Amino acid sequence: MSNPFAVSDGIERSVFTKNTIKLKRVGVISLGLFLAAGAFVTSAVVCFLMLIVVVAGMMNESWQPAEILALFFAPILYAILGFAAGAFYAIVYNVIAGMTGGIELEIENK
């Protein structure tokens, strides 16, 4: 039996046992910002590599200035879309978790 007067965060911890916790809610803004940052970094790297290819192959002049300019604005667009997708996914998860109880996670302390 546990001590009812002990200060605890609700999760019993032990060095040798595994703990099970449930993820019942996801922060909408938090997940949106996380996916926005990931989308921005990923698209920035891809656009930078594409820009190197464009500059290296500029002799044939097949790229239009608007296409090159789009490489600079694409990471911003992807960040906005990543935020919207993350917020949407968080809302959907919160609704489904409310009906099903959430995702059960098992953590181990070493």
Asked if residue 11 is part of any domain, the answer here is no
Structural domain boundaries, residue 102: 18-108
Q: Return the structure tokens found at 80.
A: 């906005």
Total domains present in the chain: 1
**30-73: per-residue pLDDT in tens?**
999 999 999 999 999 999 998 888 777 765 666 677 877 888 89
Asked if residue 3 is part of any domain, the answer here is no
Asked if residue 10 is part of any domain, the answer here is no
Instruction: Report long-range pairs for 80-85 (Cβ below 8 Å, ≥24 apart).
Output: 80/36, 81/39, 82/32, 82/35, 82/36, 82/37, 82/38, 82/39, 82/40, 83/32, 83/33, 83/35, 83/36, 84/32, 85/32, 85/35
Q: Which of 61, 81, 62 is nearest to 73 (CA)?
A: 81
**69-99: per-residue pLDDT in tens?**
888 899 999 999 999 999 999 999 999 999 9
Does pTM surpass 0.75?
Answer: no
